Structure formats: C-alpha cells, structure tokens
Amino acid sequence: MSTAPDPYRPVRRMRARDRRESHRVSTPLELFFDLCFVVAIAQAGRELAHALAEGHYAAALTGYATAFFAVWWAWMNFTWFASAYDVDDVPYRLTTLVQITGVLVLAAGVPRIFEDRDLVLGVAGYVLMRLAMVTQWLRAARGESGPARTCALRYAVGISVVQVFWVVLLFLPHGTQGPLFPLGVLVELAVPVWAEKDNQTPWHRHHIVERYGLFTIIVLGETVAAATVAVQAALDEHRAVAELLPIAAGGLLICFGAWWIYFADDSHDHLRDNRQALPWGYGHYLVFASAAAVGAGLEVAAEHAVGTAHLSARAASAAVTIPTALFLVTVWALHSRHHKRGAAQAVLPLAALSVLAATLAGESAVLIAGLLVALAVATGLILSAKRS
C-alpha cells in the first residue's frame, strides 16, 4: 500500500515512508530544489573557468572543490532524507525553502571563495542550509521511536556539531583555514556512517536513482548552456568561426555522450543497503563535479581559441579532457562495471585514457575528445547488441 503524503493536510506527523512504495517519483518541490542548487554550481563553474583562463590553477581547483563540496553535500543530505521522510506538508515545504535560500546565499559567496579565499558568505549560506536540515531530523525524531529515533537524533547532533566547527573556522587565521577545511569535510562525511550504524533510514532506491539521474541531467544542461554562451560571446567579439566550430562540435559530442553513458545502465538493482549506497552516493561528487567542470573547460578552450586566455593550448585542452576522463571513469566505477561483461568492461576505462592522451593534440583536443566519447558510446552499443 502506498504511503504517499496527502498534500491537502497542512501538518502531518513525520514518519518514515514505505521502502516498497510503488510509483515513487520526484516531487515538484524536489525539482525546484535541484534547479536552485544549479545556480551555485553555475557560479562555481564560471569562477573555475575564469581562474583557469588566468593560469591560477591551484586557486581554481581549491576554490572549485570547496564550493562544489558545499553544494553537493547539502543537496545529497536533503535528497536521502526526503526519500525516507518527505511528508510534503507546510512545515516541510517551508523548511525546504529555507534550504534553497541558503544555497542562494552560498552562490553569492562563491566568487569570494575563488578571489580572496573569503569563506564568510559561503559558510553563512551553508550553515543556513544545514541547520534547516537539523530541524527536519529533529522533526523526524519526534515522529519515530526506538532505533529510528536514535538515528534521527544522531543526524541532528552530528550536523549541528560540524556547523559549529565551520563557524569557528571563520575566526581562525587564513593560513589555518585551508589545512583545517579537509577535517571538516571528513567529519561531515562521517555523520551518516555514524548515524546509521545501528539503523538504516528507509530510503527508496528507485526514488534515489531517479533523483541522482535528474540532477545529472540538470548539471549536464548547465554545462551545455555555459559552453553555448562562451562560444557565442567569442563569436560576437572575434568572429573566429573556424577556431570555435571544432570546440562547439567536440563539446556537444562530449555532453551528449556523457548523458548516454550515464543512463546506459540502471543502478537501482545495485542499491540494496548502505554498504552499496554510501560509496555510490558519495562517488557522485566526482560525477557531478566533473560534468560541471566540462562546461568550465569548454569556456576556457573557447577563450584560448580567440586569444583571450593566458595559458597554453595543452593547458586549455586539459581543462576539457581531464574532467571528461574523470566523468567516464567514475561512471564506470559506480554504474557500468556492475552490468558489463567481457570486453565491454574495458570500454570506458580505455576511452578515459584515450581522452587524456588527446590533450597532446593541443587545439584539436576538444574535437578529438568528443569523437572518442562518441566512439565509446558506439562501441558499447555494438558489444551490447552482440551479447543479446
């Protein structure tokens, strides 16, 4: 029997939903949540592109990893919580809107993270999102009993403690913030492991796979949009059609191929408990981050093609080929290797290595990388057809 929430009840008791619930799909609120989070991802991608184009590689990678972790972790925590406890009543909706407000504040602070390593606005937005999540877990604890209640309270306590750490970090000298930041990340990642060690929250595996898939689509869409704007701006200012056309073609092939490869296999059969779900969910940091970074790399490649980027041709190409290869390897590790047999297992790892090698082609690298991704898709289809 379905335990879907009744949207006409303004306040409901928050109890766990049935893991066997049929026809469980993403709600309009969840989709709105995703779209607002992509605002922060777009900001991080733009700042990454600008920093790379200026040749500030260390600042680019550090700033991007920092900003993207904050966005991804807040999104991931809400997604798994909603899969287990979404009651879709007025308090739930209002609390979720507070989280959306937090990500918009974080998005406004992303440029400061890159330019001045100023974490104040970013941390303020992040803490706002996370404290809203604490109220959700406390509400879940009121509606539960036994191990489920203990699990919810552990989440509330663990998240709260880490937020204190982030606030304290703001008052420390800049020289100590960088080394201490990974410690905060590790503690954040450890909270779900600790909270669920005696009780697994009843997330719905079909719902989770759909949520991750939809967010992947949105991130890839933002990548296409960012690359389109970059190519259009370069054309308007420099009319360099011959230089930009290979980048546009290669970028489209990469994005189309990334979509095809991600959705070639269904992961819900693999997600049966937390032993599979935690690595799968955590691993998507690299899937989302690399997909968004491809868009930033295409911006850098377009700027280099018209002579406005301060880096070499190989460095500009690497801004595209490295995240593309990372995407291919991560999707293989999380999805494809559980479904492929025989020679098909080697397609994506070999494609990733080939894409990395294409970096040496310099200005032609983006187009070659796109063709290699398309070849990987075609090879996978041929091998699947032979096996069937």
**Which pLDDT score, from 0 to 100, does residue 2 have?**
44
Q: Are 27 and 86 in contact (CB under 8 A)?
A: yes
Q: Are 74 and 132 in contact (CB under 8 A)?
A: no
Residues 6+ apart with CB under 8 A from 78: 33, 96, 99, 133
Comparing C-alpha atoms, which of 259, 251, 276, 315 is closest to residue 52? 315
Residues 6+ apart with CB under 8 A from 75: 33, 34, 37, 215
Q: Are 363 and 245 in contact (CB under 8 A)?
A: no
The gap from C-alpha 40 to its chain's centroid, in whole angstroms, comes to 11
**Which pLDDT score, from 0 to 100, does residue 270 have?**
75
**Which pLDDT score, from 0 to 100, does residue 8 have?**
54
Q: Per the structure block, which two tokens stand in for 200?
A: 């697994």
Q: Tell me the pTM.
A: 0.91
Q: For the residues of 23-79, what is the DSSP string, one character each? A: T----HHHHHHHHHHHHHHHHHHHHHHHHHHTT-HHHHHHHHHHHHHHHHHHHHHHH
Q: Per the structure block, which two tokens stand in for 80?
A: 């798994």
pLDDT in tens, the chain (388 residues): 445 565 556 767 788 888 888 888 899 999 999 999 999 999 999 999 999 999 899 999 999 999 999 999 999 999 999 999 999 999 999 999 999 999 999 999 999 999 888 899 999 999 999 999 999 999 999 988 899 999 999 999 999 999 999 999 999 998 888 899 999 999 999 999 999 998 889 999 999 999 999 999 999 998 888 888 877 877 777 666 778 889 989 999 999 999 999 998 777 777 878 888 889 999 999 999 999 999 999 999 999 988 888 899 999 999 999 999 999 999 999 987 777 777 778 899 999 999 999 999 988 999 999 999 999 999 988 887 777 6
Judged on CB neighbours under 10 Å (0-12, 13-18, 19+), 234 is buried
